[in-house]
């Protein structure tokens, strides 16, 4: 498993830093360093995520990698699919 440090600016919706680590302790050390670095900025979110690949990470934690508009479009699409399926079930 790989470990990824993500430093995310919630206000701008963008990644400030993205680093990959093979060793979890190294990722955690980088996280603590980043927390010290960005301590004065409440808009910054810092996480270490584990995944077998960067592709999997993008799928499971897409909010860090996609813009708000993309997330909204995906959510609206999922809602429409859910509503359509609910109407079909209700008709049965």
Of all helices (H) and strands (E), which one includes residue 6? strand 2-9
pLDDT at 38 (0 to 100) = 97
| Predicted structure pTM score | 0.68
Instruction: Read off the DSSP letter of residue 64.
Output: G
| Cα 4 from Cα 43, distance rounded (Å) | 20
Domain map (residue ranges) of the chain: 2-65
pLDDT at 72 (0 to 100) = 61
pLDDT at 67 (0 to 100) = 63
pLDDT per residue rounded down to tens, the chain (92 residues):
999 999 999 888 888 999 999 999 999 999 999 999 999 999 999 999 999 998 888 888 877 876 655 656 666 777 888 888 888 888 88
């Amino acid at each position: 498993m790989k470990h990824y440090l993500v430093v995310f600016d919630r206000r701008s919706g963008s990644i400030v830093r993205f680093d990959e680590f093979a060793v979890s302790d190294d990722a955690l050390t980088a996280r603590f360093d980043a927390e010290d670095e960005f301590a004065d900025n409440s808009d910054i979110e810092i996480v270490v995520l584990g995944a077998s690949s960067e592709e999997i990470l993008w799928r499971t934690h897409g909010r860090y990698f996609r813009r708000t508009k993309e997330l909204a479009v995906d959510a609206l699409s999922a809602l429409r699919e859910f509503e359509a399926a609910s109407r079909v079930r209700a008709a049965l």
